[in-house]
Amino acid sequence: MFPVLRPFDLQGIESKAKKNISWFYEFFESVIEQRRKLGEGPKMADSKDFLQQLLELNQIGDVKTSISMKEIKAILLSIVTGTTDTTFTTIEWAMTELLRHPDKLRRVVEELDAIIGDQNIVEEFHLPRLLYLEAVVKETLRIHPPAPLLMPHMPSETIVVAGYTIPKNSNIFFNVWAIQRDTQFWEDPLQFEPERFLNVIEKRNYKGNSFDFFPFGSGRRICVGISIAEKIVMLVLATLLHCFEWELPNGRKPDVKEKLLLVLSKAEPLIVVPVARSSNSMQYQ
């Protein structure tokens, strides 16, 4: 926020970040070494994972298409840090809002029972048919975007936008948290209403082409992990709600107080008690 103070590292953020990154890189090096040993064995083209594909790009020797080991570690770091907290914070917020609105929770469970069946487990191919659950996820991302200011942008040249001069190399933050709660675009914006997404699927998607709903950003810098984030959130939520009933230990609605660290998380973690819904033991293995 205040670049002039950056060299002093007054809060110790830079030193802590370097320490954490060093730990991650040591972990990545051990995983990379395991994959290299695996690659020395019999070649199985159909069993290559993402890391093995990256290692092949590292070894081809073409300056234009090869990537360095440093770049591989940076890619892995982006994947780990960009998909863990954001994904499971969204799941926690969705559970919180559903427990605060029993009628919405009941509708989700009824949809799961109708499409999946009470004795079956949730599979990825079920997800496209869970339209109300998808609306719940979108409404959760609208009210509680995990990255409320998105990632900072920086113009390469001084430009004028809507009469405002944006100097070159400025740090630009987009307050998507405020935009997605703006009464100009949303009716009763503070109310948790998944139904608002059921009839406008094409407009309010995750592609960033609707500037009143873009929790993953927009344009060339849009989040590259949209597909995996959407699938993981949907699959985990569907499994939790299909297999268990959820009870609050104190019988009170969970609060929605927010705390902004790297992501917009709950000020107090959600604490709930699961109760098995199904007699099919395979669902819990």
CA dihedral 88, 128, 109, 271 (to 10 degrees): 0
Q: Is the dihedral of CA 130, 190, 101, 229 positive or negative?
A: positive
DSSP string, 162-201: TTEEE-TT--B---HHHHTT-TTT-SSTTS--GGGGTT-T
Q: What is the spatial distance between Cα 121 and Cα 280, in angstroms, rounded to a whole number? A: 9
Describe the crossing of helices 102-116 and 226-243 by its angle, rounded to 10 degrees.
Answer: 90
223 in a labelled binding site: yes
Q: Which residues, including other chains, have CB under 8 Å from residue 24's CB and lie 6 or more apart?
A: 73, 76, 77, 80
DSSP-derived secondary structure letter, 251: S
Phi and psi for 166 in degrees, rounded to 5?
Answer: -105, 105
Residue 98: how many other CB atoms lie within 10 Å? 26
Please answer whether residues 190 and 139 qualify as being in contact, where contact means their C-beta atoms are separated by less than 8 angstroms.
Answer: no
Among the residues of 3-130, which ranges form H helices? 13-39, 50-59, 69-83, 85-100, 102-116
Instruction: Give the residue numbers of the binding site for heme.
Output: 223
Binding residues: 223
